[in-house]
Amino acid sequence: MTLIDWILLLTVLAVTGYKIVLPTGKWQWHLLGIVCVLIATQLLISGFLWPFVPTYFLVALLALSSLKLSAKLPTWRIWLTRIVLLFAFLLAIAPFAILVPVPVLPTPSGPFSIGTKIYRWVDTLRNEEATDNITDKRNVIAQAWYPTELSDKQRSVYMDGLSNLPFKKIGLETEYVMGGYDRINTHAMLNAQISNKKLWPVVIFSPGFGASRSWYTGLVTELVSRGYVVITLDHPYESPITELANGTIARRIDTSPRDTNAREPWMATQLGIRATDFQFAIDRIIEGLDDLKGHLDFSRIVAVGHSFGGATAVAATGRDPRIGAVVNIDGTLYGEVPELHRPFLLLQSDYAVTGHGDAFKARNQQLLEHTTAPAWRYEILGANHLVFMDVLYFLSAPVKWVLKKKYGGNLFGGERKPKEIQYMSSDILDAFIRETLYGEKDLVKRSVAKYSDIKGGLQVVPKTVSPQTK
């Protein structure tokens, strides 16, 4: 929230406290006048934010309770006023105790400023399997993040479709929650000119299952600031909300089976669709991205993803020789485990915190055994599955504490903060790419050695495939 948001909220709460203690006290209308000026100022500067609705309601109650003041109010009316105002007081606090109206992303630490562009592509050779309309073609949404030397362009918005949200649930989000997300500072300039200092290595990033590309902005911008072009993908009708090439807002269509036995092959099918999205994105990137063309190093393309996106990156690498290296962040595969003949990094959350199952461990072990190039596996102690994402920035401290106590591991356990993990992950990713694609020696080992709470290393496992040259 901005300063004026905090001033308004705290002033309203303070005036309410005064009214509860002194229902017939003096200066009430003067205090309400100050509050009204603050509301007008906030609306002018910040605009309307849904979480402030209970606050505005509380101000209306304060005004109503101050009518027909008398020094001799009945005792029952005094206590009724106190009870109603106390309830409204708690109601006004509730949104801010659960969710952060305008999450704050960490400032990238690298030397480069960041530009971004959004591309909305249509694969005319594929039908859209998620809809009933047989004329629908598969869309792939990509956002390019890249180094720039400019810093005075329009700021990029955080998420697609924020000006066209419905009053209904969208995945885990609602318009009430996301009403202020257009004010999130992404630390990126929209449509800025790419820096021409060198040919930039290309990282293509796939998000987790049901996640938006925007939820990885903290991790992505940190990596870009160190000298990379990162292309983040949205997979329409699986992402919570996506704007398609024709301007249509596509929302998630959940067709996943509830039966455990049926879910496995269904996820394998979805993985295949995602991997094809990934390859289609590579096609379009190599064809040329307007003024990014001529600034990208296609000999150094890296596939990266988190959770199901990590599986997507691996599946795409198994199919596409144009990918030079692959990173799987806390994901596992479905269906057939591919053979990898490119350098591979498996970066995982804490097994004890996240509660990775036997299938997760077995498949990743099998993947390592199917990798003929150098492969590293690291486990970040104290990290949960969500900490690589921006999602934990959305939640206020009280609700994070409650979720951690109630549900423990997997999504909310562990002690690590997203800012710390995103910086650490970018550090390791940077070292991995520079070592495997630029030939700089022992960078991964040295990068990890800076941290005392990571275990793992270069993997030496029995190989079940024949080595192939790059």
Domain boundaries 113-458, CATH class: alpha beta
- What proportion of the chain, given as a percentage, has pLDDT over 90? 54
CA distances from 144 to 188, 224, 465 (A): 11, 10, 35
- Distance between alpha carbon 368 and the CA centroid of its chain, in Å? 28
| Residue 466: predicted pLDDT | 58
The larger pLDDT score, comparing residue 167 to residue 302, is at 302
pLDDT tens for each residue of 37-95 = 999 998 888 777 778 888 999 988 888 887 755 556 677 777 888 888 899 898 888 88
| Residue 443: predicted pLDDT | 95
Whole-angstrom Cα distance, residue 308 to residue 331? 5
Other Cβ atoms closer than 10 A to 374:
16
Are 447 and 463 a contacting pair, CB within 8 Å? Answer: no
Written as six digits, the tokens of 457 are: 């290393």
| Residue 29: predicted pLDDT | 78
pLDDT band for 469, please (50, 70, 90 cuts). very low
Written as six digits, the tokens of 63 are: 């005004």
Are 16 and 61 a contacting pair, CB within 8 Å? Answer: no
pLDDT, mean of residues 203-222: 96
**How many Cα atoms occupy the beta-carbon half-sphere of 414 within 13 Å?**
28
Domain boundaries, the chain: 3-98, 113-458
Cα diameter, the chain:
92
Are 390 and 103 a contacting pair, CB within 8 Å? Answer: yes
Whole-angstrom Cα distance, residue 331 to residue 422? 16
pLDDT, mean of residues 326-345: 94
pLDDT, mean of residues 359-383: 92
Whole-angstrom Cα distance, residue 276 to residue 206? 12
Written as six digits, the tokens of 115 are: 């530009």
pLDDT band for 170, please (50, 70, 90 cuts). very low
pLDDT tens for each residue of 122-143 = 999 999 999 999 999 999 999 9
The larger pLDDT score, comparing residue 348 to residue 464, is at 348
CA dihedral (156, 220, 233, 354) positive or negative: negative
**pTM of the full predicted structure?**
0.86
Residues 6 or more apart in contact with residue 238 via CB below 8 angstroms: 130, 209, 210, 252, 270
What value does the mean pLDDT of the chain take?
Answer: 87
Residues 6 or more apart in contact with residue 346 via CB below 8 angstroms: 327, 328, 364, 367, 368, 375, 376, 377, 378
| Residue 176: predicted pLDDT | 54
